[in-house]
Structure formats: C-alpha cells, structure tokens
Structure 1
C-alpha cells in the first residue's frame, strides 16, 4: 500500500483499489457510449418507443455539422477547429465496413479507441491519406474473406470500438456546407452491403452519473469485460465484493478528479495526455484520463499543451492582459495546423465575446507577424485595436489556454520544443 491508497486519512485495501483503477476505463467508455449514441435511426426509426428506454443505435455515424461554441456545454474544453463525426461499433455479430469519401486536401481523422481507452488505430490524413477508402474493422477471432474493394483492415482487440472523427472546417457557411456533404458520406455497413445498424441496451438513460452505484458499476464492467478481454498481460482482480465497491467508488472517483499529473513542458505549459497507441501498464494514468479527458487520441495525431499560469507562475486572469510571443521561425512545428483556444476556468467552456473568436492559429484570416518575423498573440478582455492578433479573454475571470498541435513534429513529440510563456503586460 502506498500514499495514494490512503484518502481522507483512512486506508484502502490496495487490491480492491487496484481493481477499480483497472476497470474504471471500461465503465467510463460504457457511460460515453450511452451519452453519444442516438435513440433514432434515420431509416429504422427509434430504438424504442419508450423515451425513457436505454436502448440506443450503434454501428451508425452521428454528426455535429458546425464548430462548437460557448453555448455548447456537453463537452468540456471542446476544440473550435473541426466538426465531429461519432460512431460506436459493435463487432459481436461480425465485422463492419467503414466507407469514407475523398477529403481533398483538408485535415481529417477517424480515431479508433478500444473499450480500455487505448487509441489503437486511425484512418485519415496522417495514416491512410485523403482518398476514398473502405476500411474493414473486425473483432478477435474473425478470419473471413475480404471483399475485393477493401483498402484497409483493422483488427480490434474487443467487440466495442469508439470512432471519434474530426474534419477541419472553415468558419464560412460555404465550407461548412461542403464538410456536411463529406460527413454524410461516412457510412457503416455489413459485408453484404446492408446497413450495419443495430440497437443495444446501454443500461443508462444518458444522464450524467457523477459517481455510480456499486450495482451499476458492477453490471457495466461485467458486461464490458465479457466482450472486451483485458490487454495482454493485464488481469484485473475482479469482481469486487459489493459492500467494498460501494464504499470505495466515491473515494476513487474523487481522487481521480482531484489529482491530475500532466507532463510538464516548461514555461507554465503542461500536457495532460501523452499516450500514443496504448497505455500499457500505467493503469492509474489510464484511469485519470478516462475520468477527465476521455476520448483523447494519441499524441502523434494531436497534442494539447495547456497553460493555466503566466510567466511568473500566477493564474491567468481576465483582469490582466497577456502576450504569447513566438520568436522568428520558432512557431509550433506541425504537419497539419495549430490553434490556441481559450476556456473559462470555472466551467472549462468557451467564452462568448463580441468578436465571436474562440481560437486563433495559423489558419486565422488576417494573422500578422512582426517585422522580425515573430508572432505575437494578445490575450485580454478589451479590444487591443487594429493590427493585433487578439484572442478575447473573459473580463475578471480565471481562464486557461490550450495549444492544439495537429500532426506535431518530432520537436514536440520528443519534448525538445521550447514553449514560450504567457507574459503579463
């Protein structure tokens, strides 16, 4: 037993705690499946006539056709660069085909997460290109015949897979319309060409569950374990006695919420998620990310350095003005694009402002560089005037910023890049 197995002064059985830490990603993934799958299929109708039913459709895409803004409160720290296409695969009845259209030159990715939150595979610009593709995804043990037109094959480690799709979009209505057409061409089918959609019982009503009951936790984990074997070398000591589980769950959930361990990058910057394709045996970090940043893709696809403090170590506060200055030739090194997004600390959401700007980056129209080639971004509540690269901050409120790096170069991946601090003016 170590220091982390003692909360609020009372010792916790290390074996039971370890079992919860190991299985918590399964529960969180099943919870997200309930929240992000649809009750209604465009052709097949509702999964159930009862609006309170936990039945949901899987093996179909659902889409967000616009960039998220301050009125969107379902997801914390949302990106303001892409639209989302979301799908949950159920491979228990056989493989599925995922069709994706020609994406032209734009950035896009379909990231596949297994039930243990490992981002184990991708389809998209970085990995498979931007041409029209047909990807076969199958579960363990499948050895059927591949259709002739399959371009890629992905072997999933279990029956449940979460596909999180991101497609880059400009803010103008014409590009939003073009991307909507692309999203609507994403399709999931069976090998015989039929729609793969099927409904499942999520056991949840889609409402937030801060700390689950021991009965609910046990049921969801049991079901997920039966469909998604633990990664190689991992054997959770499961199940746990109901009484012990009921006593432990609130304390472990609280611990994971309060104790984040981001990777320090210098200059007040830290990165909360550093996974590539698997968490390996780092069960504690895997559980923390599942609790606080679920859905994170691997750092080779995107990195999210985050700053909550300025150059002097003080919290970023909308009462003051700040400058983030990238020296000449020392901007973020990426294969796709980068952006800087601001969020209010109190709720981790985007902040409404008169400019209607929630992020700024290398694709921002009118971005200006200084005469020496440096790039300065002003972060403050009041309009700094013309010719300034301005990211509006909330007046008098604490905030934080996230530097999103899409397809980061080795300087970032190997932690050699010098992140400039935010300096209070």
Structure 2
C-alpha cells in the first residue's frame, strides 16, 4: 500500500472538476467516441474498506459491531471484550471512537498554539521566520519543503482585528498566505495565483458583523475569520541559491500588527489563546516538551483528552456554531472522568478503534504506480477522518488548489524504499509535469521525515534545479537517480542524483504547485519508483 503520510506543510482545499469536451462539426455522421481514458490515479475501490467505514459514524458502528461478533471487518483487528459485546456497550464504544476522530485535531492545535505563542503571550505576530530553505539540520518541522521560506504566527482576534501587510512581489515568483481557523480549515488565501495586490488587509474575528466598517479598509480588504484563533503561514518561493536573499527580504516584509482600536474585542481581559494554553498546561501533560509527547500522553487518558477538547470548543466553537458532536464532548469528558471497570475499558477500546482508523486508512487517492495523492484536505466539511489524518501529519498544509502532495514508500514491486542495503532506484518523469507554477521531488528519512544529510547538499529535484541531464525527443524526459552512495561525477546519474540515507528507509514527496486538472480527475499518476536491478516497470504515467 502507498504511504498515508502527508507533509507538515500540507492544507488542501477541495476542488470539483468536470470533464468538458467539444464535438467536431462533420458533414458525415460522427464516428463512435473513443473510450474514456482509464484513470491512473484511482485504485480499484474495495467495498467496505477500512477508510470507507471509518469515514462515517454508522461505518464506525459497523466496525465495532463486527468486532463484537468476532467478525473482523476491513482489517480493524481490534478485539471487543466479551463483557462489552451487548448492544448498549457497542453503541457506547462506537460513540467514543467517533468523538475521538472528531476531536483529534484539537489537542494538536491547542498544544502547538501554547508552544508557538509562549502560552498566549506572543500572538498576532510572526513568531517563526526562516531566511533560507530547510536543510537536514532543521528537524523541528516534520517533512519540511525545500521550495519556500516562510513566516508563521498565531492570531487571537478576540483581542481585536489584526492588520496583515503584503509587499509588492515580482510577477514570476510564487507566494502564498493562507489563513487556517481553529479547526484546521483554510478559509482565506492570498497569493500570486489569486492576483492579490500589495498593501494592507484587515483580519477580523468571529463576532464582527459582515457589515462592520473600519477606517482605512474597503470591504474587499477585510477578511472575516470564522473563529478567533487562527494559524497563518506565509510562504515565498526561492528559485535558486542566488535568489535566497531576495526571497528573504520579501518574506520579512510580510508583517502583522494590531489594529488601532479595541472595538469588537471580547469583554474578557484574558485572551482566548491564554485560556487555551492554561487548559493545555492544566491537563497534567502540558509541561512535556514536545507536541508528540503531549498528544501521546494525553491520548492515553480519555478523561483528559475529552476535557481539553470540550474546553477548547467552549472557548472558540467551530465557525458554524456548536454541533451535537461538540456538546457530546463535554458529556464524554465527565463520563470518562468517572469511569471505572468496564466503562473505563470501553473508553480504551473506543480510542483504539479511532487510532486504528486514523493511522491505517490512506489519505486521498491510491495510484496504480504506488503513490498516494492527497487532494481533499483544507476544507473538510464533515470529513472528520481526513481532518484527523492531516492533523496527525502536521498543521498548516497548503490548499489543494495550490499544492498537491503525492507520497510513496514503495517501489514498483511493492517493496519498501531502502537504499541503505545498496539498492539504487530511478524515477523517470515525462516532462513537463502537470504543475502550472512549479514542482519538486523531495526525499526524506522515512522514520523521522527529516531531510537527508548528503555530500552535495541536495534535498530535492525540480524544475528549478540547475544542471539536470535530460533525455528523449526535445529533452522531454527526466530520470531521477536515487542512491545512498554518490555516483561518478560527470555522469548523468550524478547530475540527477537525489541522495538517500545510508542507514534507513526513505520516503518521497512529489509537490505539484498549482496542479493541472488531470491530477484532480485521476488521469495523472507519478511514475513508479524502479529498483535498478529490476526490469523497467511496465507501469507508466500519462
């Protein structure tokens, strides 16, 4: 199976694309239409697959009912104790699992907010800025891209509006500033693909009327956030090493500042960010140093998990208002806190079912060439499973209209990608790739998803990489060579070398910035990764 991992810098907005054709005008009857091209990106659907069942509350109930009857469905592989196989207990376990899936992003957001905002004291400013592309020395971010530099900050609009200032960018440079609400939905995007103009924009909170006016800002320059807590990550393309300074200067010119009025702020003297940070630290696990440690520890205590989630929803509800799912979180928090014996076991089984769904089901489309294409995140609606899966991989990913992510950990024979045992690989790309802006192929150490230290400081290959060796008619083919050992200099393999780790398996992420419609419709799949000792794969991309 392809990898279900997704980059930390992932957030994708859903697109609905339709096929449109034109019939020729002919004097004679038109010939029979050619058969539609066979989708390359979508694997055969398996009825009742784990991902399908985990995606809805009735599906989760069906999974638990199967386990309770000793009829494992879709490979859930979680046993329900005999004492909890009655209908009432099964319903409770399924409810716990579904609420766990629903609330899964909340501890990630809460802890990341507490860490990044210094417990709520450093909001409405960029607390992280990069002035160069990521390297193997940068391990704080999981699966960083090697294409853009960034500025990252948390907004707390409960204290008033915030001014976002954008510089004037050169016309050939890709840049993007997406805004993400407290529940990881991207609700507004500014950038080169949207013809966004330089100047100031005002971001206002959830309680601000759509008819509200602010001096100095026309309605088209006012952005209404659905929640008061928001994540903002600006990205600026670096087109070459020589371009780093220019890109960094533009990145530094993207700024945040408080609007000079307290109008529309809440009456509370304590910001929502501070309140959430206190809830994180008061959970009993807030003092652990890393996000992973915090979420891991919290997940083992259902009462603490649901208490934090209910508190978070109470402080900053989803933009559409609290739902029945939200109100159930508070009830589960109380129930879990008082649970003993079988009741406590039910919470344990429910959380196991949820984690199995989140960690085992693939995100996006499986391809026939061994890749998984993530194309549905960013605006989730009621797809809480996908929202949980993306949160597990990281916050702040780009919307699908801006970047499509294809990942793989398998070669053309479905073996783990691992060059540490002397295996070499090739990936042969027909050019151009379906990206209107640009594309990149980045290699990561699979266990850590960190960039790989290497002798030539190359972490990715893309259409901005200089000195590549192309082949085919009109130089329309690029064969990337992957190995742990350095190829001979002056060879085509060296020119196209993407270094792999010497002591671990690896994972590939193909990023298509402003992908073409073929990617969304399933008519494109990245080419298979072929081990050098194998015959050429018969599987090709369009």
TM-score range, shorter chain: 0.7 to 0.9
Deviation at 1:89, TM superposition (A): 0.9
220 and 186 in structure 1: CA distance in 2 versus 1, 3 angstrom threshold: farther
Long gaps (5+) in structure 1: 40-53
Does 2:136 align with 1:70?
yes
- SS at 1:178's partner residue? helix
Q: 2:236 aligns with which of 167, 174, 177?
A: 167
Corresponding residue number in structure 1 for 2:500 = 393
Does 2:365 align with 1:242?
no
355 and 4 in structure 1: CA distance in 2 versus 1, 3 angstrom threshold: farther
- What's the C-alpha RMSD, in Å, of the aligned pairs? 2.7
Deviation at 1:307, TM superposition (A): 1.5
- Looking at structure 1, the residues matched to 248 and 429 of structure 2 have their Cα atoms a distance apart, in angstroms, of 35
Q: 1:200 aligns with which of 262, 266, 274?
A: 274
- Looking at structure 1, the residues matched to 513 and 181 of structure 2 have their Cα atoms a distance apart, in angstroms, of 22
Q: What TM-score, normalized by structure 2, do the two folds share?
A: 0.69
Contact 1:211 1:250 (C-alpha < 8 Å) held by counterparts? no
Corresponding residue number in structure 1 for 2:509 = 402
Corresponding residue number in structure 1 for 2:121 = 56
CA distances 1:328-380 after superposition (whole Å, capped 9, x unpaired): xx432112110000011122211101111010100001123114221111111
Deviation at 1:292, TM superposition (A): 2.5
Q: 1:176 aligns with which of 237, 241, 244?
A: 244
- Looking at structure 2, the residues matched to 171 and 33 of structure 1 have their Cα atoms a distance apart, in angstroms, of 33
Alignment of 1:153-164 (within 5 A): 153-164=222-233
Contact 1:70 1:350 (C-alpha < 8 Å) held by counterparts? yes
Corresponding residue number in structure 2 for 1:229 = 317
Contact 1:25 1:115 (C-alpha < 8 Å) held by counterparts? no
Does 2:23 align with 1:23?
no
Higher relative contact order (CA 8 A, sep 6+): 2
- Looking at structure 2, the residues matched to 250 and 175 of structure 1 have their Cα atoms a distance apart, in angstroms, of 48
- SS at 2:438's partner residue? strand
- Looking at structure 2, the residues matched to 269 and 341 of structure 1 have their Cα atoms a distance apart, in angstroms, of 14
Corresponding residue number in structure 1 for 2:150 = 84
- SS at 1:92's partner residue? helix
Corresponding residue number in structure 1 for 2:308 = 220
Q: What TM-score, normalized by structure 1, do the two folds share?
A: 0.86
- SS at 1:342's partner residue? strand
- Looking at structure 2, the residues matched to 231 and 260 of structure 1 have their Cα atoms a distance apart, in angstroms, of 27
Does 2:519 align with 1:384?
no
CA distances 1:82-138 after superposition (whole Å, capped 9, x unpaired): 112101111112322211111213111111111111122111112243x41322212
Corresponding residue number in structure 2 for 1:125 = 192
Long gaps (5+) in structure 2: 1-60, 68-76, 81-89, 266-270, 279-285, 533-542
Does 2:447 align with 1:346?
yes
Q: 1:275 aligns with which of 356, 360, 376?
A: 376
More strand by share: 1
Contact 1:58 1:200 (C-alpha < 8 Å) held by counterparts? no
276 and 73 in structure 1: CA distance in 2 versus 1, 3 angstrom threshold: closer
Corresponding residue number in structure 1 for 2:63 = 3
- Looking at structure 2, the residues matched to 190 and 382 of structure 1 have their Cα atoms a distance apart, in angstroms, of 52
Aligned length: 404
Corresponding residue number in structure 2 for 1:265 = 367
Deviation at 1:80, TM superposition (A): 1.1
Contact 2:309 2:329 (C-alpha < 8 Å) held by counterparts? no
- Looking at structure 1, the residues matched to 246 and 503 of structure 2 have their Cα atoms a distance apart, in angstroms, of 39
Contact 2:102 2:384 (C-alpha < 8 Å) held by counterparts? yes
CA distances 1:279-332 after superposition (whole Å, capped 9, x unpaired): 1111122112212343222211111101111112111110211111123xx432
- Looking at structure 1, the residues matched to 367 and 214 of structure 2 have their Cα atoms a distance apart, in angstroms, of 45
Q: 2:462 aligns with which of 336, 361, 383?
A: 361
Corresponding residue number in structure 1 for 2:214 = 146
Corresponding residue number in structure 2 for 1:50 = none
Contact 2:125 2:153 (C-alpha < 8 Å) held by counterparts? yes
- Looking at structure 1, the residues matched to 455 and 180 of structure 2 have their Cα atoms a distance apart, in angstroms, of 38
Structure possessing the higher radius of gyration over alpha carbons: 2
Corresponding residue number in structure 2 for 1:43 = none
- SS at 2:426's partner residue? strand
148 and 117 in structure 1: CA distance in 2 versus 1, 3 angstrom threshold: same
- Looking at structure 2, the residues matched to 322 and 113 of structure 1 have their Cα atoms a distance apart, in angstroms, of 38
